[in-house]
Structure 1
Amino acid sequence: MDARAVLLIGETDNYDGVTVTMEEPMDAEVFTARLRASLSHWRQEGKKGIWIKLPLGLANLVEPAVSEGFRYHHAEPEYLMLVSWISNTPDTIPANASHIVGVGALVLNKNTREVLVVQEKSGYFKDKNVWKLPTGVVNEDFHVFHTKMDT
C-alpha cells in the first residue's frame, strides 16, 4: 500500500456512516490517497454516508474531496461539512436542517386498553431491546394535511 494511503480516522455513527473530523494540515495529494483508501475500506465494511468536517484552515482539501464524489452539506463559521453516499442503496442523508418537525403518537386500542409500542430499526436504540412510543421526523417534502377519522 502507498505510504500516503493510510486510512483517515473516522467515528462510526448509529446509521452505518462515518464522520471524519480533519484537524491537522495535510497536503492535497496525501489527503486524496488516504481518502480513496478509506472509501474503499468503508465500502467493504458496508458503510453508507460519509461526512467530512473541514475547518476553515483546511479549505485546500475541498477540491480533492469533491473530485472523489463529496458534496457540500452545510457550513458554519468555523467549518464546512461535506458528505458522500457510498452505498448502492438510496441516499438517505438528510438535507441541512433549518428546522426539524418531530412527530410522535400515542395509539390506544379502546376495546382492550392496549398501547402500541415499537422498537427502533436504526438510531440510538437499535438492537437495545427498548420498547417506546412511535416517534420520528417529517421529511422535508412531506405535506401535512388533516383527515377526519372515525371515532
Structure 2
Amino acid sequence: MRAVVQRVRSAQVTIDGQETRAIGCGLLILLGVAAEDTMEDARLLARKCAELRVFEDGQGKLNLSAPELGYEAMVVSNFTLQADTKKGRRPSFIRAAKPPLSVEAYHLFVECVRSSGLARVETGEFGADMQIALVNDGPVTLVLDTEEWKRS
C-alpha cells in the first residue's frame, strides 16, 4: 500500500464534475492499494499517515501532528500510485488491487484515519473521476510504502 501525503493549507476534490468536498489546514492523502496488501497494512499505514509530525512547533521544527493541532484530512483513492514504469513509456497497473480488496482496504484506511483524532476527514469517491485542487504548505510531501517497511 502506498500513500502520498501532502501538508496542505487547503484541498478540495470535485467528484464527477458535480460534488465538491473540501478541507482547510491538514493533510491530503492519496492512497494506492496493491494486490498483495492486507487489512493490517491499511491499519498501519492509516495510523502512520494521520500521526505524521509534519507541522511546525514553536521552534520551527516539524514536531506536531494534524490531530494535535485540530487539523483535517482528505483521503483520495489513486490506483495509479501502484504503476510499474520499469519498461517502456506506458505504465502498467497490474500491481494495483482490484475490487473487492481495493475497496475494502480503502474504506478501512479511511475509517482508521477518522478514528485518529483529526477534526474532520473528507474523502473522494472510490473509482470516480476526480479533480483535486490544493495549496501545498511548505511544500511538504512524503511517500509512505508498506512494501518498503516489509523489506526493512
* TM-score of the superposed pair, with normalisation by structure 1: 0.35
In terms of fraction of residues, the more helix-rich structure is 2
Normalised by the size of structure 2, how large is the TM-score? 0.35
Greater strand percent: which structure?
2
